[in-house]
Chain A
Amino acid sequence: MESVGCLACHSIGEQTKVRDLRGSSYDMAPELTRVGSKVTPDWMFEWVRNPRHYNPTTKMPNLRLTEGEARDVTAYLSTMKDGRTQVEKNLELSSPVTIRRGEGLIREYGCSGCHLIPGMEKEGRVSVSLSNFGRKRVEEMDFGDTKVPHSWHDWVSNKLKNSRVFQTDRIVQKMPVFAFNDDEIARIRLFLLSQTKDQPDTRYIQAFDLKQQQIETGRKIAYQYNCRQCHQLENEGRYISAIIDDPAFLPPIITGEGKKVQEPWLRDFLKNPSAAGSPNTIRPWLKTRMPTFSLTDAEISALTKYFLGLSNQELEVRDYRAFQPDPVLLPVGKSIFTDFQCIKCHPAGNAAPKPGEATTSDLAPNLTKARDRLKPEWIVEWLADPNKLQEGTRMPTFFPDGQSPLPEVLGGDARKQMTAIRDYVMSIGQPARTQMSAR
């Protein structure tokens, strides 16, 4: 549970560090403290192995658990029970009167507003429209028996704090109690204030050109799949850091991904992230894994454009197989690579280190994959200042203040030396992709 990353989204008991760092009053996924009392082990096993199999629209991604891992997770979750014993209740399940009363209550409370209930698909809206709510006058607001000051802001704040606050003997209120925190209330209130039928002044309307629209589409998908729970993206997120002690195990900052990785690699990776033994595996020894979100091609294309846009790159898929190392620089790059002892951290194989050799957090990405993954121009930028691109990275700079430690190589020209290293790195390993597949 801890190693694959379940706790990034699910909280257990008092363990709410990720939620707290995120600053929200709720989690993205259900709390699991008593899940053993709710579902059967068989169901749980099937669910954790492939959530989409049971519910095609669930937000829970596939963690690619092996059968053994799934069994272990199920065994652990099955112990998460509360002490209450189920009291046998005398339920009159077949009484037509009870059934009718139940249906009435379900309609009255508008359960079908959120849940899909057979026979109630066409129920329509269960509560009032908010489309002009920002213009709602105080005289139209019912303050019940409360002493809440008569203003739009006070009514909304109190309603969001406790949705039943204005309830009286005569007027029943049915909006659920959401337990928003103050920050969330302020955000929702601001949103509601914006809900008017007024035409905003044109100065305040942002016109998106096609490129901006495409970036915006991808940005929405990134929010929808909650990338920020684990990754830092546009200076937000990485909430999982609340439960990961070693920064070396943190999921990467992906704001600059469009500048960093080749588009075909990104597509393959998003389709099938780090599948064991797949050519995409960069750190095969890591247990925490990027889940499989089963993204559609359209979603992947939108995300790709979003990342390219964030890095001010052309929104197009390029082919990198034509890259040719400079024949003069290549051997120089190889000798600098040896001089810098890059191999000390960047392994050449896929094996986890032997005990006593080094811990897994000491290993850097396998460079045999670089040629099919990294953009050539990015490698040079990375070598110049790794911390600028990936804050807190363990990769040191070999060129502090743009100065090379090897004055005798290539006339001491740091930029040329970085290019030479790049050319060598791009030549390590065999190309995995021989043909661009159609998209």
Chain B
Amino acid sequence: MNCRSFALAALLIACAGVAAAGDVTGKISFSGNAPKPARIMMNADPVCVKQHKTPVVGEEVVVNTNGTLKNVLVYVKEGLGSRKFDPPAGKLEFEQKGCQYTPHVLGIQVGQELEIVNGDPTLHNVHSLSKENAQFNVAQPKQGMKLTKKFDKPEVFKVKCEVHTWMGAYIGVFGHPYFAVTSDDGSFKLKNLPAGDYTIEAWHEKYGTQTMKVKVAAGGAATADFKFEGK
């Protein structure tokens, strides 16, 4: 809709309201007991062992020093209606380095390019366990090999390496750009959401999902803090 084509002031205000956008910010706090990080034994592949000077631990549950949870995928679940979003032009990178995936949890938009890189001088394969998108299972026997993938349908799925069983990561595909992954401070920001009512979901690989309803007012901002609890 072209706002300038309306002469009436009242309609102008309404149009401005739709266009005005706000950020949804929040943090993911964690309480209770987190499982002790499991030590990863890479003995099956000496090349992997050689790349680490210190013991490697699993990333299933990472609690930050400020008591927040890392690797939580936060996104708009409902509220965008039938809006369509073009994928951004830039590629995202997903690397196999030191026989681990970086990042461990990744969000990407439908149609956006993902570059999967083998940074190790050993054989890795990337096996997607996707349900909505076509599965793929591609070997990268040489260091520096690259593979570019795009996804058509929104879903969160696991990716694993069949050579190194400890290697696992999650990819969340979304039909819009309003998603984020928490890092070392456990906070997130969903930028420039059009004014409206939304359901925000936070997903964690071990603790599952939580949802929250937020209202983004015209030009305003909203907060969505989640609490995950260990058993």
Which of B45, B141, B162, B165 is A405 in contact with, Cβ under 8 Å?
B141
Give A339's nearest chain B residue, CB to CB: B141
B141 touches A345 (CB 8 A): no
B43 touches A357 (CB 8 A): yes
Q: Beyond A395-B137, A397-B137, A400-B138, is A341–B123 a contact (Cβ under 8 Å)?
A: yes
Which of A344, A387, A405 is B163 in contact with, Cβ under 8 Å?
A344
B162 touches A345 (CB 8 A): yes
Give A94 to B174 CA distance when docked, in angstroms: 79
**Is A356 among interface residues, defined by CB-CB distance under 8 A?**
yes
| Residue of A356, A395, A397, A405 with most partner-chain B CB within 10 A | A405
Residues of B within 8 A of A398 (CB): 138-139, 141
**Is A127 among interface residues, defined by CB-CB distance under 8 A?**
no
A contact patch SS = loop
Give A394 to B136 CA distance when docked, in angstroms: 10
A396 touches B147 (CB 8 A): no
Q: Beyond A339-B142, A345-B163, is A357–B137 a contact (Cβ under 8 Å)?
A: no
- Interfacial residues of chain B within 78-99, with CB under 8 A of chain A in the complex: none
- Interfacial residues of chain A within 382-400, with CB under 8 A of chain B in the complex: 386-387, 392-398, 400
A397 touches B141 (CB 8 A): no
Give A345 to B141 CA distance when docked, in angstroms: 13
Give A386's nearest chain B residue, CB to CB: B137
Give A339 to B145 CA distance when docked, in angstroms: 13
A387 touches B135 (CB 8 A): yes
Q: Smallest distance from the beta carbon of B215 to chain A beta carbons, Å? A: 42
Q: Residues 357-377 of chain A: 1 if any B CB is under 8 Å from the residue's CB, otherwise 0?
A: 111011000000000000000
Give A387 to B136 CA distance when docked, in angstroms: 8
A358 touches B165 (CB 8 A): yes
Residues of A within 8 A of B150 (CB): none
**Is B127 among interface residues, defined by CB-CB distance under 8 A?**
yes
Residues of A within 8 A of B38 (CB): none
**Is A340 among interface residues, defined by CB-CB distance under 8 A?**
yes
Give A400's nearest chain B residue, CB to CB: B138
Residues of B within 8 A of A362 (CB): 44, 162-163, 165
A340 touches B141 (CB 8 A): yes
Q: Smallest distance from the beta carbon of B96 to chain A beta carbons, Å? A: 13
Q: Beyond A356-B43, A357-B43, is A400–B162 a contact (Cβ under 8 Å)?
A: no
Q: Smallest distance from the beta carbon of A240 to chain B beta carbons, Å? A: 20
Give B136's nearest chain A residue, CB to CB: A400
Residues of B within 8 A of A359 (CB): 165
Residues of A within 8 A of B136 (CB): 400
Q: Residues 43-63 of chain B: 1 if any A CB is under 8 Å from the residue's CB, otherwise 0?
A: 111000000000000000000
Q: Smallest distance from the beta carbon of B167 to chain A beta carbons, Å? A: 11
Q: Smallest distance from the beta carbon of B76 to chain A beta carbons, Å? A: 32
Give A358's nearest chain B residue, CB to CB: B44
Give A393's nearest chain B residue, CB to CB: B137
Q: Smallest distance from the beta carbon of B114 to chain A beta carbons, Å? A: 14
Give A361's nearest chain B residue, CB to CB: B165
Give A344 to B165 CA distance when docked, in angstroms: 12
Which of A341, A386, A392, A400 is B122 in contact with, Cβ under 8 Å?
A341
B141 touches A356 (CB 8 A): no
List residues of A whose CB falls within 8 A of some B CB.
Answer: 339-341, 344-345, 356-359, 361-362, 386-387, 392-398, 400, 405
Q: Which 9 A-B pairs have the closest CB atoms?
A: A396-B125, A341-B123, A396-B139, A394-B162, A358-B44, A396-B137, A398-B139, A340-B141, A400-B138
25 A-B residue contacts at CB 8 Å? A339-B141, A340-B139, A340-B141, A341-B122, A344-B163, A345-B162, A345-B163, A357-B44, A358-B165, A361-B165, A362-B162, A386-B137, A387-B137, A392-B135, A394-B137, A395-B162, A396-B126, A396-B137, A397-B137, A397-B138, A397-B139, A398-B141, A400-B136, A400-B138, A405-B145
List residues of B whose CB falls within 8 A of some A CB.
Answer: 41, 43-45, 122-123, 125-127, 135-142, 145, 147, 162-163, 165
